[in-house]
Structure 1
Amino acid sequence: MSERTTIKLETKDGIALLTLNRPEVLNSINTALIADMREAVAEVAADDEARVLVITGAGRGFCAGADLAAQGKRSEGMSVGQGVAHGMEIGFNPMMRELHELKKPIICAVNGTTAGGGVGLALVADIVIAAKSASFIQVFGPKLGLIPDLGTTWTLPRLIGRARALALTLTGDKLSAETAAEWGMIWKCVDDEKLMEEVMTLAGKLAKGPTGAFAEIRKAIDVSGHNTFAAQLDYERITQGQMGDHPNFVEGVTAFLQKREPKFKP
């Protein structure tokens, strides 16, 4: 395992805490951070002791998106646009797919400025909790002449609807954490000093839960947008039939009947 310089990863009591660690540039994403993130996510995926992943940022911001100072490095013969697309193909997009496909719950603790691709990184989490001082800014269109990326065009309209998603991405207006919570874009907004306490309490709760079932819940919610009601009922039936054979279901029923807390396996 290589030495990571752009993130920190600590695992304790079933919680893997991943901290973006480029505070001098608001944790903007460069190729080194992508490599470190992908390595860390693979490590969490393979670690049975890690039951939930928490992502946050060091310093005064969560993530300012792509490191524009590092852009423009491309292979000979590539246009600027081809270089951007290539960077997404080999780095940004695989990182996001691996996060979305992680079969463990992800909580994002947004601790400050979140801009551009940083919004997409935050919203890939299953649960997002933000400090009151945090904000979300879509800079792609009005500042850069680009479309939102890192999955933002997928997650944002599903969370807040087409009208609000378009207004945010066309204007680049700053969205406060409190409004984001009111709109349903994030789970909740808390006082700054309580952010990590709130997040780690929730992470501790999820770490004791049936990790595999949580991954299936995420998948069921995601596929529902493409299914008819009848098709979703069939999906639920098939999935329940498969999960009903897992020891965690037996443990859950037994614990309920015995009026105790269940002890789930990963």
Structure 2
Amino acid sequence: MVYQAITYDVDLGVAVLTLDRPDVMNALNTQMRAEITDAARRAARDARVLVLTGAGRAFCSGQDLTDGGNVADIDLEATLRDEYEPMLNAIYNSPIPTIAAVNGAAAGAGANLALAADVVIASETAVFLQAFSRIGLIPDAGGTYWLPRQVGFARAMGTTLFAEPVSAAQAASWGMIWEAIPEKSFPDHWRARAAHLAQGPTETYRHLKHAIRESYANDLPEQLALEADLQGQCGRTRDFREGVMAFLEKRKPAFEGR
């Protein structure tokens, strides 16, 4: 696929997917959703970590309401099912770690696109806005799934009912995101975070993601059994042996990844 609404680059195991429609604050249209889906799947083959970020002053302003003509004619159910679900699944279910480097406003589906990543790192100038109720809609693009799990029932309800912006600092204090970083150091910081993961034990990260997510549905015996199974698989990797040897030899491990 030739990308027109995003850019995609891979360097030293880090794939950077940049939403690139800055004139409309990186609003999501059909073309961009297809390109994000394709690039996220491609990153799972090309790289050891995937970063999503935005060009210009915004991360993503959400659904492009001018996409496809008259907004009243948009089939929202079909759009979510056929375009959003594959995109979100490609990110959420990626076998490699995913980072949303939120450089500015993340609104509506744009906020929930960021929350689909494993880790959200935001500039302190960023805001998160569940704007749906302002136009008579409910949160979508995974918002009703991720928010209650990350911030709890009360904050999820308040954030979505009142549709008020949440600052990056507040989002970090709530547990909605991992960290809020001063704007000046933000680009170097998320790149360093991505580089750290790209040098790590990729197969271990895949099992780690699976174990933590399954914990929401499992009781303790089920989770303990899952841990034992996945830990056994980790223990059979070259990276485990390398990690132990590096520890004993007091040196930095050289993990191979997948």
The bucket for the TM-score relative to the shorter chain is: over 0.9
How far did 1:238 drift? 1.3
Who is 1:68 aligned against? 65
Distance in 2 (CA, whole Å) between partners of 1:96 and 1:107 is 13
Distance in 2 (CA, whole Å) between partners of 1:97 and 1:59 is 26
How far did 1:212 drift? 1.5
How far did 1:116 drift? 0.3
Distance in 2 (CA, whole Å) between partners of 1:84 and 1:63 is 19
Who is 2:149 aligned against? 158
Q: 1:136 aligns with which of 124, 128, 136?
A: 128
Distance in 1 (CA, whole Å) between partners of 2:202 and 2:230 is 15
Aligned positions of 1:80-119 closer than 5 A: 80=73, 83-119=75-111
How far did 1:40 drift? 1.0
Give, as a single letter, the amino acid of the residue that structure 1 aligns with 2:61: A
How far did 1:89 drift? 1.4
How far did 1:252 drift? 1.3
Give, as a single letter, the amino acid of the residue that structure 2 aligns with 1:169: T
How far did 1:80 drift? 4.7
Identity of aligned residues (%): 42
Matched position secondary structure for 1:120: helix
Aligned positions of 1:1-266 closer than 5 A: 2-47=1-46, 50-71=47-68, 80=73, 83-141=75-133, 143-266=134-257
Deviations 1:41-99 (A, max 9, x none): 1221122xx1111111001100011111115679xxxx957x11111111111110111
Distance in 2 (CA, whole Å) between partners of 1:100 and 1:169 is 22
Contact kept, 8 Å, 2:203 with 2:234, in 1: the verdict is no
Matched position secondary structure for 2:176: coil
Matched position secondary structure for 1:70: coil
Distance in 2 (CA, whole Å) between partners of 1:203 and 1:251 is 21
Structure 1 alignment gaps of length 5 or more: none
TM-score, normalised via structure 1 length: 0.93
How far did 1:234 drift? 1.2
Structure 2 alignment gaps of length 5 or more: none
Distance in 1 (CA, whole Å) between partners of 2:203 and 2:141 is 25
How far did 1:176 drift? 0.6
Deviations 1:175-211 (A, max 9, x none): 1111011111111111111111110011111110011
Matched position secondary structure for 1:193: coil
Give, as a single letter, the amino acid of the residue that structure 1 aligns with 2:115: L
Distance in 2 (CA, whole Å) between partners of 1:250 and 1:190 is 35
How far did 1:230 drift? 2.1
Query: How many corresponding residue pairs?
Result: 257
How far did 1:35 drift? 1.3
Matched position secondary structure for 2:223: helix
Distance in 2 (CA, whole Å) between partners of 1:145 and 1:219 is 35
Deviations 1:220-246 (A, max 9, x none): 111101111222111101111122112
RMSD: 1.5
Distance in 1 (CA, whole Å) between partners of 2:144 and 2:206 is 22
